[in-house]
Amino acid sequence: MEVRCSLCGKIDVITKIHKDYMKIARSNTTYVCEMCQNKVRFNAMDKNKPKKPM
């Protein structure tokens, strides 16, 4: 399945082993690539925003 990162626009191909595959396939959850996830996590920590642990 091809997904586009909603932050940087990069196209990634994910398979069923991807941890968010079901979520994305089922409900069109926006996909964020690994690189941006790290960035977001870093920013979230910076803002001390509550976020559910993955």
Interface residues with Zn ion (CB under 5 A) are 5, 7-8, 10, 33, 36
Q: Least CB distance from residue 12 to Zn ion, whole Å?
A: 8
Q: Least CB distance from residue 9 to Zn ion, whole Å?
A: 7
Closer residue to Zn ion, CB minimum distance, 4 or 25:
4
Give the gyration radius of the chain's Cα atoms.
12
Residue 1 neighbours by CB under 8 Å, 6+ apart: 13, 14, 15, 21, 24, 25
The whole-angstrom distance between residue 26's C-alpha and the CA centroid of its chain comes to: 15
Closer residue to Zn ion, CB minimum distance, 22 or 30:
30
